[in-house]
Chains A and B, each alone.
Chain A
Amino acid sequence: MIDSIRGQSLLTLEGLSARALVEILDTAESFVEVQSRSVKKVPALKGHVVASLFFEESTRTRLSFETAAKRLSADVLSLAVASSSVKKGESLRDTISTIDALGIDAVVMRHSSSGAALQVSRYVPHVRVINAGDGQHQHPTQGLLDAFTVRQILGERHGTSGQESGSELFKGLHVLIVGDVRHSRVARSDIQAYTALGAQVQIAAPGTLLPPDMTGWPVTLAEDFSEALEWADVVALLRLQRERGSGSFVPSLAEFTSSFGLTIERARRLRPETIIMHPGPMNRGVEIDSRVADLPAAVIARQVSNGVPVRMAALYLSVAGLKRDGAL
């Protein structure tokens, strides 16, 4: 197990210990306050260069990462790249080598292919790579910000700060992940984060939207969706990845909604303290009813705003941990 991401790339949450995760969450918490300052900047990464390399378009995640880097006073190189390196006629290795030649400390990378961030980290071992989502594999900062958001809310309820609580608030917490797990990098990162921190995770999805072989996954499958909803302290909905053809894995979107959507009727039966989450962008009316998305229990906007301090923490630990003088 890895106990700290200091000075290391963040490619996956797999293999990170509770200690490593708590360090990131605690660091993020110390950055939350920066957001409310009139000058929203700290000099932590002054003089460092962070490249943002999005092979797959994602305005939200890109903005979130670039905002995070800028708040740390890093110089941000934002590069527009074609969606497919094949179409562009350039290999992944050549693309990253070109950018590396400009002199960078870290690269934030999103790619539609699973494993692309890991491949890039092999090509430029001296550069820290932050995986901003790779295919259907991992989306580590989303898993982190989801865990951060849950800890923040539970901490407020218990009147403790997250930093005081460490991973305590996750012990025995019931997290229900619903929907297109098969195609979801968010689900893979969320499951790692929640279970490493001590939560219990159940999955509810039609069989076709489950990964084909879940041997070794630290989760249980919900036998009855209604019961699972009652069981859940956190309901984490997933985006039905229609762009990845998920529509053909169910007879119709309407049937998916009637079987596994968080409809207003189902939401009414949740316990009042149950937290509703969604990584966005939402298919309103498919996995989540529009009215449910706007309930106070739905913390979707808070997930988005927590994205910035969590990504600041990931960048800070990963990049500043490199400093030879050891000053952090």
Chain B
Amino acid sequence: MSSLVLRNGFIVGASSSEVGDVLIVDGTIAATGDVGSVPSHTVEIDAGGCWVGPGFVDLHTHLREPGREEAETIESGARAGAMGGFTALVAMPNTEPALDSVALVAYVLERGARTPLDIAVAGAITVGRAGEKLAPIAEMAALGVRLFTDDGIGVQDPSLMRRALTYAAPLGVRLAQHCEDESLAAGGTMNEGPVSSRLGLSGRPAIAEELMVMRDIELVRLTGGSLHLLHLSTARSVTLAIEARREGLDVTFEIAPHHFTLDESACEGFDPIFKVHPPLRSASDALALREALRAGLVDAVATDHAPHAPELKDLPFDEAPAGMLGLEHVASLTYEALGGGADVASQLFDVLSRGPARVAQLRKSDTRQSLSAHGGALVTGEDANVVVFDPHARWRVVADSLQSRARNTPYEGRELLGQVRCTVAKGRLIVNEGLLV
């Protein structure tokens, strides 16, 4: 029997919050509030001044395994996730080869099971993510896959996307779209606008994203399917998604931290660290995203954690791969963007835990094989996936100190407010005092 007690934290429940203890015994929350006496040999953690809430869930992690293990592995990605307060990650399927079959999904699930976290898998919508032929969605769903995406590229063919939505709907799974019309994005490397025009870099225009958001919302209306919009980056995209949700369509969306903390001006120095798809947008887009976040209109903040080997980010801007790290600083960035302070606690856990757990079907009410439940209310009987977040701590991002194998953080040297103190995954204390146990 193992037991752990988190003392005197501000427990952020689903609807109410209070100062108290959380007792965890054998992977389950055994008691909360004033837990009184605890079993002998219980590990005591002082969570005074900190927030105690459900472990974070990332809907959008590129773990790179199989195929690009020099950039990240499932194991190193899980460590980075743990440092960031995550207890569950959804592994994106744009590996080499792509996760488009039962065998490959089973491989990642099996490797993921060796980590302390829950590693869920998003399967590919099309074979090889080539956008031509449906992948075996039902077979992968039978293994527990609940999200399907060709992320890295959107499904370009509207007829195929319609078919995928129709096929997936009765399976109880959700499609997730990387919204960019590639014929409009046409080899672009940064946001199309005044900066790209001056720098002579070809642009990926906002309309490339927004047009696909519009198209797919209409396809959901037509098919009755379920759709998650990945890393929406423009004010218009977010407005469209919110309107669709209000109309009752089953549309969810996420925003990524780099899109609400950085903008296209970061590309001025031609540093490929700032190259990402969809690209960093205008300052007013970033502001609109922060406003949506603060207004509680965002289903999830997701990292789009995209590790790349250092030598690939030393290529010219147009040749370098797109993507940046996210797992280890997203909680601080989201906390800062929410405005900081005690009254944003429930919002932080909504967008980093409860919202994404709902989208990924990782909650207690969702029946899953093998994976534990996430995004809970911190009540007795729940699986113990818990994070302790210190809203007062300040820390500095140092790429060389990150747990990810890669170093491509766009926040090098930046001081951030709010830090993950402890991560408890499936009842195990894996991060304590901001360090891996």
Taking beta carbons and an 8 Å cutoff, which residues of A are in contact with B? 14, 84-86, 91-94, 111, 113-116, 118-119, 122-123, 134-138, 185, 188, 211-217
Closest Cβ–Cβ distance, residue B394 to chain A (whole Å): 28
Residue pair A92, B197 in contact (C-beta under 8 Å): no
Q: Tell me the complex Cα distance, A134–B198, Å.
A: 13
A91-B311, A119-B270 known; A212 vs B319 contact (CB < 8 Å): no
Q: Tell me the complex Cα distance, A89–B316, Å.
A: 13
Q: Tell me the complex Cα distance, A217–B200, Å.
A: 13
Main secondary structure, interface of B, reads loop
Q: Which one, B196, B311, B318, contacts A212 given CB within 8 A?
A: B196
B271 contacts across to A, CB distance below 8 A? 119
Q: Tell me the complex Cα distance, A93–B319, Å.
A: 13
Q: List 8 A-B contacts (CB under 8 A).
A: A92-B316, A119-B316, A123-B314, A134-B200, A136-B201, A188-B200, A213-B192, A214-B197
Residue pair B269, A118 in contact (C-beta under 8 Å): yes
Residue B54, interface by CB 8 Å = no
Residue B152, interface by CB 8 Å = no
Q: Tell me the complex Cα distance, A212–B314, Å.
A: 27
CB 8 Å contact bits of B302-339 with A (1 = contact, 0 = none): 00000000011011111100000000000000000000
A114-B270, A119-B270 known; A212 vs B197 contact (CB < 8 Å): yes
A122 contacts across to B, CB distance below 8 A? 269
Q: Tell me the complex Cα distance, A137–B195, Å.
A: 11
Most buried by A among B269, B316, B319: B316
Q: Tell me the complex Cα distance, A114–B201, Å.
A: 6
A215 contacts across to B, CB distance below 8 A? 194
A123 contacts across to B, CB distance below 8 A? 314
Taking beta carbons and an 8 Å cutoff, which residues of B are in contact with A? 192-194, 196-203, 205, 269-271, 311-312, 314-319
B196 contacts across to A, CB distance below 8 A? 212-213
Residue pair A86, B199 in contact (C-beta under 8 Å): no
Q: Which one, B199, B203, B319, contacts A137 given CB within 8 A?
A: B199
Which residue of A is nearest B267, CB measured? Answer: A115
B200 contacts across to A, CB distance below 8 A? 114, 134-138, 185, 188
Closest Cβ–Cβ distance, residue A49 to chain B (whole Å): 24
What 8 A-B pairs are tightest by C-beta distance, nearest first?
Answer: A115-B270, A113-B316, A136-B200, A211-B197, A137-B200, A91-B314, A93-B314, A114-B200
Which residue of B is nearest A120, CB measured? Answer: B316
B311 contacts across to A, CB distance below 8 A? 91, 93-94
Residue pair B193, A188 in contact (C-beta under 8 Å): no
Q: Tell me the complex Cα distance, A214–B195, Å.
A: 9
Closest Cβ–Cβ distance, residue A195 to chain B (whole Å): 13
Q: Which one, B194, B318, B319, contacts A213 given CB within 8 A?
A: B194
